[in-house]
Amino acid sequence: MVPQLDSYFKEVDGLQDKFIERLREAVAIPSISSEDERRPDVIKMGEWLASQIRALGGTVELRQLGKQPGREHLELPPCLLGRYGDDPKKRNVLIYGHYDVQPAQLSDGWATDPFALSIDDKGRMYGRGSTDDKGPVLGWLNAIEAHQKAGIELPVNLIMCFEGMEENGSEGLDDTIRAEAKRFFKDTDVVCISDNYWLGTEKPCLTYGVRGCNYYSVEVSGPGQDLHSGVYGGVSHEPMTDLIRIMNSFVDPDGTILVKGISDLVAPLTDDEAALYPPIAFTMQDLYQSLGSEVAIHEKKEDALMHKMRYPSISLHGIEGAFYTPGAKTVIPAKVIGKFSIRTVPNMEIHEVTKIIQKHVEEEWAKLKSKNTMKFNIVHSGKWWVEDPKHWNYTAAAKAVERVFGVKPDMTREGGSIPVTLTFQEELGKNVLLLPMGSSTDAAHSINEKLDKRNYIEGTKLLGAYLHYLAEEPTK
């Protein structure tokens, strides 16, 4: 099947130096969306990307999003809405990516200039944005170019949505998706996002879900001002003592959630789903390496994977208002705010989760019989996202992986949230696939971010191959 892929692959190999130069140019633009003074570079990056797409024959609108809410001295970077191909007989794939990057400077500990692509003898291409997410975005452009060189028509139409604020809250994106759901995006058949990572370094994966996150705070106050613990210790109710008791009530050291009613909301594990975990190319050694130590709760990889992907967890993040610097301070803080969050999974209804947690906090508070005052706050909440991994969007991608890499992909879910997946799912009502290019060692968001040449070049083949399998996959 899909015999024309061979000549496409050959052209990708032949063009690899050009593709690396394309990535080098992109990395050189420091499009850091969270730094005011870099905002012009983000906008420049959007324009550079638009000109690359236009040069390949695509059409592009740089949709202006106005001022940044709350920071009105800043213009939001545009959302790039593009098309390549508009054959009504072809399927339409919406591809999403982002052209902004995390902050980076040499003094953070980078071995090389983060904005000058540097390739070592193992083919590791270091540079900010190399893997997150300039490499994957350019992968789509490379695929178009290699098709042109091979004289093969793209078998689907591409609808592009590339934003410039992903690393800064995706400001303006949801509104754009909502506004264009029945307009620019209306013909979309499936969505493909290349903006996450393989679980390891050898085996590609398809990602069909992410956990949600409800983030809460508990504020305890009492004294009119911070007190001296010598003068008032034993005399006053202390907000810290009360808060620590509340924070202690959520989770056991082995991760067991102690809030009654939460585990009842979790979808039972079916045999079908259980069968997805054992083949995943992941070992406890991989986990220890990424944790930087052997403090994993579970002994078996399947348990670790399921607790990352399909079970909820509660983490205690910190306390605002208490003493936090090195040294000693004999203070009784007057007001302290504990921060914690729960990662949610199917079928937890996230407002139901909040109700249960709030009730738990109020019951625990009542037990304290404290004269202090407690306030429960919802800081933010975002739903989990899960797709049917047997949808033809996934089977097409799985075939492409097998064709390019010779293995069946791991079927994975992410522990962390990728909110745009849910927005596309809810606003377009179409199947969404996460098809990563980079590997687990790429250090996105860290110093020395990199993308392996193999991942970039074979990843470009993968994206192109996916389009072909997508074009011919039965929708059954």
Which residues are annotated as part of the binding site for substrate? 195, 228, 330, 343, 417, 445
Site for its own copies contains 70 (CB under 8 A)? no
Kindly report the CA angle at 361 between 357 and 365, in degrees rounded to 5?
170
Site for its own copies contains 410 (CB under 8 A)? no
| Marked catalytic residue, from 145, 166, 180, 364 | 166
The two tokens of residue 284 are 């406890």
Q: Which of residues 300-339 bind its own copies (CB under 8 A)?
A: 304, 307-308, 311-320, 322-334, 339
Q: How far is CA 472 from CA 193, 284, 442, in A?
A: 20, 38, 33
Least gap, CB of 97 to its own copies (angstroms):
20
73, exposed or middle or buried, with CB in 10 Å at 0-12, 13-18, 19+? exposed
Site for its own copies contains 247 (CB under 8 A)? yes
Residue 272 annotated to the active site: no
Strand partners, 452: 124
Strand partners, 413: 209
Site for its own copies contains 412 (CB under 8 A)? no
Residue 238 annotated to the active site: no
Site for its own copies contains 421 (CB under 8 A)? no
- The stretch among 133-141, 174-182, 236-244, 275-283 that binds its own copies (CB under 8 A) is 236-244
The two tokens of residue 138 are 């350019």
Q: Which of residues 252-271 bind its own copies (CB under 8 A)?
A: 252-255
Nearer to its own copies, 324 or 390 (CB): 324
Nearer to its own copies, 80 or 247 (CB): 247
Q: Look at strands 71-75 and 67-68 and give their pairing.
A: antiparallel
Instruction: State the CB neighbour count (10 A cutoff) for residue 169.
Output: 13
Cβ partners under 8 Å of residue 148, min gap 6 = 56, 57
| Marked catalytic residue, from 41, 100, 145, 189 | 100
Contact (Cβ atoms closer than 8 angstroms) between residue 204 and residue 198 = yes
For the CA atoms of 265, 269, 273, 276, what is the dihedral angle to 10 degrees? 110
Site for its own copies contains 417 (CB under 8 A)? yes
Nearer to its own copies, 253 or 474 (CB): 253
Site for its own copies contains 168 (CB under 8 A)? no
Least gap, CB of 209 to its own copies (angstroms):
12
The two tokens of residue 288 are 């220890």
**Count of residues of this chain found to bind its own copies when the rule CB under 8 A is applied:** 81
Rounded Cα gap, residues 136 and 45, in angstroms? 15
Answer for which of 24, 83, 149, 298 binds its own copies (CB under 8 A) is 298
Catalytic residues: 100, 166
